[in-house]
Amino acid sequence: MSLTILVTGFGPFPGAPFNPTGPLAQRAKRARRPALADVKIVAHIFPTSYAAVDRELPELIAKHKPDALLMFGLAPRARGLRVETRARNALALLPDAGGASLGRRAIAVGSPTSMKLRTPARPLLAALRGLRPRVTLSRDAGRYLCNYLCWRVAETASTSTGLRLAAFIHVPPVRRGPRRKRDKAMASLNDLTVAGDRALVALVAAARR
C-alpha cells in the first residue's frame, strides 16, 4: 500500500536563529529505507508564524492528501526528544517570528482545554529508545507555535480528511561545529537525523496497520 507522509519543520524564531527542524524535515525527505520504498515523502518548512500555519497547513493537506504527518519543533530548553501526545488550547503572548501575537490566552475560545493527537506514541517511543538524545512522552506541547500547529492538526484530523495519524516530536538545540567541552552533551544534527529516520519508519508502519 502506497502512502504519503508530510514531514514538517519550522524556520528561525526569536531566540533561535538556527532551527534544526527545517534541515531535519529536508533530510527526512531524502531518507532511503526498504520500509519507505513505496512512500511519498513531502517536506515543508513553516515560517514560525501563526498566519503561516493557518494559511499553509490547509493548502498542504488539500494538495498532498497525506495519510500521516510527522512534525518536528524546537524546544530551546529541552535536553532530549519529546513525543507529544496532546495539543493544549493555550497561547503565550510572545510574538512570532513576524512580530505578531494573537493577543489571547486560548487558541479556540469555548473549546476543550486539550485535544489528543492521533499519535502512535508507544511505537514511536520504542523506535527512538536507546538513541542520542534520550526520548520521553509528553502531554504538554507548550503555548507557542509548536503547540499551535498541534492544535490545528488535531482539528484537521477530527474531520474526514483521510489523515490517519499525526505525530509531533520536540527536539533540543543541536551542537554546531566541532565538539567543545561545554557542549559535549548536546546532540548533533546527525543525531537528530538518525532519530528522525527511525520515527518516520515507525509512523509508516503504524499507518499501514
Statement: residue 33 has pLDDT above 90: no
Locate the domains of the chain by residue range: 3-208
| The pLDDT value given to residue 125 | 97
The DSSP call for residue 34 is G
| The pLDDT value given to residue 118 | 95
Which one-letter amino acid corresponds to residue 49? S
pLDDT class of 160 with cuts at 50, 70, 90: low
Mean pLDDT of all residues in 166-184: 77
C-alpha distances in angstroms, 101 versus 11, 112, 173?
17, 21, 24
Q: Tens digit of pLDDT for each residue in 121-154?
A: 999 999 999 998 999 999 999 999 999 999 999 9
Strand ranges in 39-182 using DSSP code E only, listed in sequence order: 39-46, 68-74, 81-84, 86-88, 114-116, 135-138, 165-171, 174-175
Statement: residue 1 has pLDDT above 80: no
Task: Compute the mean pLDDT over every residue in the chain, rounded to the nearest whole number.
Answer: 93
29 vs 41: CA distance, rounded Å: 5
- CATH architecture for the domain at 3-208: 3-Layer(aba) Sandwich (3.40)
CB atoms within 10 A of CB 92: 15
Q: Tens digit of pLDDT for each residue in 60-86?
A: 999 999 999 999 999 999 999 999 999
| The pLDDT value given to residue 206 | 97
The DSSP call for residue 13 is B
What sections of the chain are H helices per DSSP? 21-29, 50-64, 121-128, 145-157, 189-208
Is the whole-model pTM more than 0.85? yes
Element (H, E) at 75: none
For 189, the 3-state DSSP assignment is helix
